[in-house]
Amino acid sequence: MAIVMMTSAAVSSGQTVADKKPDTTKPVPGTTASSAAYAELLLRKTELQSDLESLVVEYTEEFPKVKEIRFVLTLVDRDAARLGKVKMADVSRLTLALGKLLVRKIELETDLWKLQGNYKDEHPEVKRAKRKIEIYEAAIAEILN
């Protein structure tokens, strides 16, 4: 029923179903939204949005912390969409541990983003940060595949 309503809403707004971007803040009931991993990502997203709301009252979009939070929110949305692609038969894999791995990987990716603002990719700190992310991604892939 929800899919039909989303399709008719997309058609009535002039969008095709393929053009409609997934809204990770309102997943379709009965999907991965009830998983512990998704809940962990949603918790992090909520914390970030709350922090962002308090910052934008006093600072512009160019303020470094505002930019950082917006970057992290895109990473959270990316990973939430990744969880949304998990088949219903594999939803049991979406554990709290997976959610914690995803959140930690996002933190590491944020650290890398900051490092890359100051250093070139050849710098040892950047290489270390990339390697840590690879390790977390391998663990996540092992769970999801």
pLDDT per position as a tens digit, 17-64? 334 444 445 554 446 889 999 999 999 999 999 999 999 999 999 999
Structure tokens at 27: 């997943």
Q: What is the pLDDT of residues 117-133, one digit of tens each?
A: 999 999 999 999 999 99
Distance, CA of 55 to CA of 52 (rounded, Å):
5
Domain positions in the chain: 30-144
Residue linked to tokens 């970057």: 71
Structure tokens at 1: 């029923």
CB-facing half-sphere around the CA of 32: CA atoms within 13 A: 28
Q: What is the pLDDT of residues 91-110, one digit of tens each?
A: 999 999 999 999 999 999 99
Structure tokens at 58: 């006093």
Distance, CA of 100 to CA of 27 (rounded, Å):
20
Residue linked to tokens 């949005």: 49
